[in-house]
Amino acid sequence: MGILIPPLVLGGLGMILGFLIYLVAWKFGVEEDHTVRDIEHLLPNYNCGACGYPGCKGMAEALVSGKAVPAQCKPIKKEEIEILNKYLEALKTGTPVPAEVK
Amino acid sequence: MTNLLTIAFTAFFIENILLYQFLGVCSFIGVGKKRSSSLGMGLAVVVTIILAGMATWAIYRYVMEPLDIGYMKTIVFILVIAALVQMMETIIKKFSPALYKALGIYLPLITTNCAVLGVAITNITRDYSFAEMLVYSAAIPLGYLFVMYIYAIIREKLELNPVPKAFRGIPIAMILAALLAIIFSRFGGLI
């Protein structure tokens, strides 16, 4: 019976802490600009680093700020890069993002 | 009272976390390059260690000790520290975006910093009372901040000096850390 105590304590503690994190995130969470996250989804997400940025997130940030071009991404597929270009074009001109991107 | 003063002095100078216990050295070498970033990291460590010290001490005393599962402390403390840093990050992001920007990447780094876990475990193994624990967990990170800042100042000056090519960068930083450790080891003669 005693062997059940450590897993129960650890599991209980994990659950309480997880719930606390959820509460804090729900109470104090901040809405962030979702463009970086959207672009990250459009990238292959291999985090290979071939573009010269630390992972796909770094590349997405550089794309938003205009420091990088989509061609720097090596493993991306042809049809994917077209969607990415369309998204970036829409971002630059300020027009709503085309529906097929989502 | 003298007891608490002894603990504070010992933790700050003699048992300095970086130069005597050799914990958290990765951030010492990595972040100690610039004064501003060393200050940011140091302050983040101060807040985290004090909070983590209190949380882990309370959990050990009131949950783990009565149940006689003290041997689980390593894994439980890691869990508590990681969750605590996560919550702190969210709260700082909400209330002080400037501070969040300044601390930036250092906050997640602290989660895996052995200094935090080291202090939490030392509090338990030395059987500290609440007041002693509080003094110890405040003095240790302040010592960290102090040494880190001195180190960053010297390294900034070092950039402007002619260092032999083979020693440039990390090697001279290691030698510098060793010299600082020798200086700090002399404090041991005071008590």
Give the residue extent of every domain in chain B: 2-190
**pLDDT, tens only, B17-45:** 888 888 888 888 878 888 888 888 888 88
pLDDT band at residue A97 under the 50/70/90 scheme: low
Residues near B190 by beta carbon (within 8 Å), at least 6 away in sequence: B9, B13, B14
Q: CA-to-CA distance for A88 and B126, rounded, in angstroms?
A: 58
Tell whether B67 lies on the interface with A, counting CB pairs under 8 A.
yes
Please indicate, yes or no, whether residues A20 and A48 belong to a single structural domain of this protein: no
**pLDDT, tens only, A74-84:** 888 888 888 88
Cα-based angle B187, B182, B47 (whole degrees, multiple of 5): 65
pLDDT band at residue A90 under the 50/70/90 scheme: confident
Does the pLDDT value for residue A15 go beyond 90? yes
Interface ipTM above 0.90: no
Does the pLDDT value for residue B161 go beyond 80? yes
Q: Which two tokens stand for residue B104?
A: 């930036």
| pLDDT, average across residues B53-64 | 93
From B92's Cα to the closest Cα of chain A, the distance in A is 9
Q: Range of A92's domain?
A: 35-101
Please indicate, yes or no, whether residues A53 and A85 belong to a single structural domain of this protein: yes
Please indicate, yes or no, whether residues A22 and A39 belong to a single structural domain of this protein: no
Determine whether the interchain pair B83/A21 forms a contact, defined as Cβ–Cβ distance below 8 Å: yes
Please indicate, yes or no, whether residues A50 and A94 belong to a single structural domain of this protein: yes
pLDDT value of residue A72: 85
Q: Which two tokens stand for residue B7?
A: 């603990």
User: Does B54 or B111 have the greater pLDDT score?
Assistant: B54
Q: Which two tokens stand for residue B117?
A: 């876990």
Residues on chain A touching B77 (C-beta within 8 angstroms): none
pLDDT value of residue A37: 82
pLDDT band at residue B175 under the 50/70/90 scheme: very high
Of B59, B83, B95, the CB nearest to A20: B83
Please indicate, yes or no, whether residues A55 and A95 belong to a single structural domain of this protein: yes
Please indicate, yes or no, whether residues A79 and A41 belong to a single structural domain of this protein: yes
% of chain B beyond a pLDDT of 70: 97
Does the pLDDT value for residue A46 go beyond 80? yes
Q: Which two tokens stand for residue B67?
A: 């149940």
The tally of domains found in chain A comes to 2
Q: Which two tokens stand for residue B129?
A: 């009372």
From B54's Cα to the closest Cα of chain A, the distance in A is 15
Phi-psi region at B129: left, alpha or beta (left = phi > 0; alpha = psi -120 to 50): beta
Of B63, B64, B93, the CB nearest to A30: B93
From A83's Cα to the closest Cα of chain B, the distance in A is 31
Please indicate, yes or no, whether residues A41 and A22 belong to a single structural domain of this protein: no
Please indicate, yes or no, whether residues A62 and A92 belong to a single structural domain of this protein: yes
Q: What is the DSSP letter of B60?
A: I
| pLDDT, average across residues B67-92 | 88
pLDDT band at residue A96 under the 50/70/90 scheme: low
Please indicate, yes or no, whether residues A47 and A81 belong to a single structural domain of this protein: yes
Does the pLDDT value for residue A101 go beyond 60? no
